[in-house]
Structure 1
Amino acid sequence: MIEHPMPQTPPTIAAAVVTHDRLDKLRTTIERLLAEPVSHVVVVDNASSDGTAEWLASLDDPRLLVHRSDSNLGGAGGFSIAMQIARDRTDADWIAVMDDDGRPRPGAMQAFSRMDLSAWDAIGAAVFHPDGTICEMNRPYRNPFWHLGRFLRTLARMPLGKGREGFHLGDADYRDGGPVLAVDMTSFVGLFLSRDALMRAGLPDPRLFIYGDDQLYTLQMRRKGLRIGFAPEVRFEHDTMALQGKTGVVLRPLWKVFYMYRNALIAYRVAAGPWFWPLVPVLLRKWRRKAADYGDDAATFRAMLDLAVRDGLARRLDRPHAEILRRSGSD
């Protein structure tokens, strides 16, 4: 008698979305998600003032779980709440995390459901801009401080200004039908977490506010032995066009500078381990050169960077957001 394998039951998926004052982008994301085979859509509204709460209240879909925060907790605070709700108020097998401007392309959830997930605790999607170009800020990587080959390739490319090519996934890795690759870091735009992985990894640290929370979270997952894969056939789009200067992203408003560099130092400490302190002077020289991209605001950039470095090296995460706004001239 020939035994036929039983067909696999597709995993149930809950989406977790964080939003703040971007109703136009949120509309598209929620409409896209509700057209996909998801069991729940958790939305954390970070005290939006643009009609988001009213629009969400007008939707009539039993899959929606909406939480409105009384204050803006930032992306990190929002993701912490959204992932907690998805964990505690749904029975989904997997939780897919995304910003309000990040969303699955049609068919992405079906592509994920068809995967053999037995070897993975988490899966990162391939993220593109709406025009089809790869979204650089969401490009996964292998931590060069944990992999000698990656480390050497990164060193070889640094004099050419192409150090990222040594440890980030390449364009060829995004080809549809390619293999699922092991990575150490992926972003919160299209990160699928198994329920067991979320239980073991815990929730993102809400004190990070914005920037680097996904990098730190996934690096810490790897340190705990959790397996993260990159699946090129699971495709997301990120409707963002960050302004690029001569030396990288230019952040506006300037209060964002503080969080970017404070959190980067905290993440580098996890990634670099014993190499962290020798690395710090290299990072500071590189970051200070970015002041040239800020024109008349260069002095404010330097002041926010200096504050970020002090808090990042001290691993201080309790500075009030109101103070950051005031110091940056954004209040």
Structure 2
Amino acid sequence: MGAGRVAAIVVTYNRLEKLTATVTRLLSSPSEDLAHLVVVDNASDDGTAAWLAGLEDPRLAVLRLEVNSGGAGGFEAGLAHARDRLDPDWMLLMDDDAHPEPEALARFRAGDRARRDGWAAAVYYPGGGLCEMNRPWVNPFWHVRAFLRTLRRGRAGFHLPTAAYDAPAPTPIDGGSFVGLFLSRRAVKVGGLPDGRLFVYGDDVIYTLGLTARGMRMAFDPALRFEHDCATFDPESQAFRPLWKAYYYHRNLLLAYRRAAGPLFFWPALALILPRWWRMGLRYGADRAAYRRILRRAVRDGLRRDLSLPHEVVVRL
């Protein structure tokens, strides 16, 4: 029995070249593999709206937002549209610079998906290497072995090992990224929508962690391969560019750590995290003072769980 109808949701902002590759790949899929495509245009001004308006595929729905609401706001709007207007069996999330490799959607629909509420794909860079930012994970505060591994190895202790990408069977997970993530109708009903106020970074961690906490079961399937042509960090300095992205990264990670660790472990974890974040300022050279000013505000807002700072103010920081 097939998995049922799939609606893909793509969020874009001023990356027409990459969006073109993603939408072309998706719409080349047979309608039995992809029933709907929702593109959320975050008020792009690079010709995206005109290009999308010229497409005639009946599966395509375009939501143009009045202002840039970030990836989080875009996924909130796209999921709401798919849930309320299309009612598919599965909703597939991805950025505008990511798309399924050939046959990935067919493999998803051919598999037995009923035992899980979410499926995470194996995401690779265009050159073939594993995309680390999209590596699925388990919550180390829920699993003793993962917790001990994390104490010894840091991030590698709770993210899936590379061996999982070659495993013959899926691997249970607690969460993953919004690139190649299939969510069931039931998962969205139980979990609601992502919090658009997060703008960018960590919205997928917080959302999928909430799903698992509510009893939704998720797994990683290495047969579902995606390509992600992303450039989040400066390749030489490993710094956020533009610099305002560091605000959302640190603020939202504090929210994610609080949810993952709970009240008992959050504060000890914070004592380890904050000095490392402060030292990251050394990567920014002449922008070190600006980075640390942004970090102080991000930590303040994260600890207060304050998501009210408007994006234009974040940029001015």
Shorter-chain TM-score bucket reads: over 0.9
- 2:261 corresponding residue in structure 1: 272
Is residue 2–residue 111 contact of structure 2 (8 Å, CA) maintained in 1? Answer: no
TM-score when normalising by structure 1: 0.92
Tell me which of 109, 112, 117 is aligned to 1:116: 112
Is 1:263 equivalent to 2:258 in the alignment?
no
SS of 2:307's partner is: coil
Measured after TM superposition, the shift of residue 218 of structure 1 is: 0.4
Q: 2:98 and 2:63 mapped to 1: Cα distance?
A: 19
Measured after TM superposition, the shift of residue 279 of structure 1 is: 1.1
Superposed, 1:9-158 pairs within 5 Å as 9-36=2-29, 37-157=33-153
Measured after TM superposition, the shift of residue 99 of structure 1 is: 0.5
Rate the CA distance shift 1:10–1:121 in 2: closer, same or farther, 3 A. closer
SS of 1:319's partner is: coil
Measured after TM superposition, the shift of residue 111 of structure 1 is: 0.9
Tell me which of 261, 266, 275 is aligned to 1:285: 275
Is residue 149–residue 157 contact of structure 2 (8 Å, CA) maintained in 1? Answer: yes
- 1:222 corresponding residue in structure 2: 212
Which structure 1 residue ranges, 4+ long, deviate > 2 Å from structure 2? 241-246
CA root-mean-square deviation: 1.3
Give the residue type in structure 2 aligned to 1:289: R
Give the residue type in structure 2 aligned to 1:31: T
Number of residue pairs aligned between Structure 1 and Structure 2: 313
- 2:168 corresponding residue in structure 1: 178
SS of 1:263's partner is: helix
Is 1:302 equivalent to 2:298 in the alignment?
no
Give the residue type in structure 2 aligned to 1:83: L
Give the residue type in structure 1 aligned to 2:258: R
- Percent sequence identity over aligned pairs: 51
Q: 1:249 and 1:116 mapped to 2: Cα distance?
A: 40
Please list every run of 5 or more consecutive structure 2 residues that lacks an aligned counterpart in the other structure. none
SS of 1:89's partner is: helix
Is 1:241 equivalent to 2:234 in the alignment?
no
Is residue 245–residue 293 contact of structure 1 (8 Å, CA) maintained in 2? Answer: no
Superposed, 1:201-212 pairs within 5 Å as 201-212=191-202
TM-score when normalising by structure 2: 0.96
Q: 2:135 and 2:2 mapped to 1: Cα distance?
A: 30
Please list every run of 5 or more consecutive structure 1 residues that lacks an aligned counterpart in the other structure. 1-7, 158-162
Give the residue type in structure 1 aligned to 2:48: T
